[in-house]
Every structure is written in C-alpha cells, then in structure tokens.
Amino acid sequence: MSARARAVPVLMYHHIITSLGMVTVSPGHFAEQMAYLASAGYRTIGAVQLAAFLRGEDVTEKSLVITFDDGYLDNWAHTVLQE
C-alpha cells in the first residue's frame, strides 16, 4: 500500500509557448518537467480527488495537480496534441 500524502502540490501553468515572458514556459521545458515528475514517481490527481484530500481522505504520496490558467489555445496545442 502506498504512503498517504501529507500535502498535494498544485502546479499552475499560464502559457506554453516559445516566446519568452514572466508567465511562459517553452514546450520543451514543459515536456522536461513532466518527464522529470513521471520519472520521480509523481502521479496527477484531478479536482475531485483533490477535494476529497482537502476533506481528509487519503491520496497516495507524490500526488499532484496540474492546472492551466485561462485556457489558452497554446496550453492545449502543446499538451494534448503532443501525446
């Protein structure tokens, strides 16, 4: 059985584009971050599981939530289309 998480990190991305900016990450860097998280054993959970955790229910250690602010097209184009 997996250990119970004591906290659940929430990662928020704004823009995934090649242009530099304070709230952007390049598609390549985003892919590297996701590959690192997967190789380190992190697993994503959704909003329902996060809400359950906040109510006191267990989620496995190394659970995390990934969010995309504002729903920009680049978020979809550089995450969903790359699978």
Averaged pLDDT for residues 15-27: 85
Averaged pLDDT for residues 9-38: 90
Give 21 or 41, the one with higher predicted confidence: 41
What DSSP line would sit under the chain, residue for residue? -PPBPS---EEEE-EESSS--TTEE-HHHHHHHHHHHHHTT-EE--HHHHHHHHTT---BTTEEEEEESTT-HHHHHHHTTT-
pLDDT per residue as tens digits for the range 26-81: 889 999 999 999 999 999 999 999 999 999 999 999 999 999 887 666 666 666 55
Domain boundaries, the chain: 10-79
The whole-model pTM stands at 0.77
Query: What is the per-residue pLDDT for 39?
Result: 98
Count of CA atoms in the C-beta half-sphere (13 A) of 2: 12
